[in-house]
Amino acid sequence: MSATTRLAEFVVKTSLRDCPEAAIVQVRRAALDTLGVMLAGAGEPAARSVRAVVRAEGGPPLCTLVGAALRAAPTWAALANGTAGHAHDFDDTNFALMGHPSAPLLSAALAAAEAEPADGAALVLAYLIGFEVSAALGLALNPDHYSRGWHATSSIGTLGCAATAARLLALDAEQTRHALGVAASLASGLKENFGSMTKPFHAGHAARNGVFAAMLAREGFTASDAALEGRQGYAAAFGATQLAPAAFDALGTCWQIVASGIAVKPYPSCALTHAAIDALLDLRARHRLTAGQIRDVEVGVNRLTPDVLRHDAPTSGLERKFSMPFCAAAALVTGRVDIASFDDGAVDDATRGLMARVRMVVDPRLPDGLEQHAWSRVTLRLDDGRTLESPARGAAGHPDHPLSDEQLRVKFLGCAAPVLGRDEAEGVADQVAHLEDVPDIRVLTGRLAGPQE
């Protein structure tokens, strides 16, 4: 059995009864978080630009554009919602994938589920299947794949989205294999675009192409039987790893949504800034620091981090999300890092002055496991001669330090209430808490339209 066929069999044969309750709980949490950041992101420039194209090209109005007064064909809705979901870089991450699983997966799932239509249980299962496919490919290909410059959210996530859509469109094993093969040729996404609108577009691109691949396969479109593992296939083109069927032996027995888990973001910036932000906010509060007391800041990071946090002198809000000097300085000067921190416009004098005193260095003492590549350590040197340190650590929201249900709900309401109103946002949160019981996904999506044009 080829690797591509092994994945297709998993997509077709897995049932919700096979999934542990802990996995279903994670889907509910991921859906709540992702719908919140989609709603918040719908007003961002990247999302508005995509919707402008959707208005001209978007086909029959079958599917909801979250946060917007517009409907579109499934592929266009998946593109728009995925882009909105990643627009603030506030959406969740997974360390096996080394990317953002839920914004593309949920966007693909919502579009396919509305088009069919399907119920909440079918959406939960399809999301889970797509997550496990994405994580399995991530474990097989990373970190080489990621370090070569591929943005795994899109370059791997496209195949996960194809698996999700294939399940919701009720493809058989052969059709699913073809959908995965088509998706392998559609997969792309470059880290060089981090700090621009193209980065959030990657999440929409993955969702759109996953749905598109599944729709083509349903109509009889074909692809190579060995599109993933062939000599000139996906794995060979995207990395140095040979992709054998054994890479997927754990599918359906070890659930990566539980094992490697989901990291929920408390800050709308690159996940690789979060451990440092946490440490700096803690030191600021404990020692009642002001920016004027700080001589310099040193942030130790993993060897992969400098290629991601590339903007030492950011010139836009999007670039600031990938700037350790900005994120560190903002945390110390203002005591917060939130959506408003990344508004375009001039950086205040205190933050700009402290940015020049922030140094990011690769620390070989930091652990190098996939689940620890976002760890940091922090050292502050003060004008009075004191040195304050925070040891190597991960961040709040990581699987080993998850946000509580209440913290997650607070984040969702902070994102959703300005768009839907407080009462409606509370109602959506209550409904998502029982997502697998929703009788028709349109009962949920009908509540997610918003004021954006």
CA distances from 363 to 94, 416, 432 (A): 22, 38, 41
pLDDT of residue 232 exceeding 80: yes
pLDDT by residue (tens digit) across 133-161? 999 999 999 999 999 999 999 999 999 99
pLDDT by residue (tens digit) across 11-59? 999 999 999 999 999 999 999 999 999 999 999 999 999 999 999 999 9
**Residue 7: closest CA among 135, 186, 168, 103:** 135
Longest Cα–Cα distance of the chain, Å, equals 72
pLDDT of residue 180 exceeding 90: yes
CATH topology (fold) of 3-266+427-445:
2-methylcitrate dehydratase PrpD (1.10.4100)
Interior/surface letters 37-68, b for 16+ CB within 10 angstroms, e for the rest: bbbbbbbbebbbebbeebeeebeeebbbbbbb
- CA 85 to CA 35: how far, in whole Å? 7
Mean pLDDT calculated for residue range 93-108:
97
Phi, psi of 92 (to 5 degrees): -70, 165
Domain-wise residue ranges, the chain: 3-266+427-445, 271-393
pTM score: 0.95
pLDDT of residue 165 exceeding 90: yes
pLDDT of residue 158: 98
Residue 3's CB: how many other CB atoms inside 10 A?
26
pLDDT of residue 353: 95
Q: Which residue has the higher pLDDT, 372 or 108?
A: 108
Tokens of 138: 């991530």
pLDDT by residue (tens digit) across 411-423? 999 999 999 999 9
Computed over every residue of the chain, the mean pLDDT equals 96
**Residue 77: closest CA among 100, 101, 104, 95:** 104
Mean pLDDT calculated for residue range 287-295:
94
pLDDT of residue 296: 95
Mean pLDDT calculated for residue range 267-275:
96
Q: Which residue has the higher pLDDT, 367 or 93?
A: 93
pLDDT band (50, 70, 90) for residue 240: confident
pLDDT of residue 371 exceeding 80: no
DSSP characters over 351-379: HHHHHTTEEEEE-TTS--SGGGTT-EEEE
- CA 25 to CA 93: how far, in whole Å? 16
Strands 294-301 and 358-362, bridge-based pairing: parallel
Residue % of the chain over a pLDDT of 70: 100
CATH topology (fold) of 271-393:
60s Ribosomal Protein L30; Chain: A; (3.30.1330)
- 3-class secondary-structure state, position 300: strand
At residue 80, what is the residue type?
Answer: A
CA angle 186, 190, 194 (to 5 degrees): 135
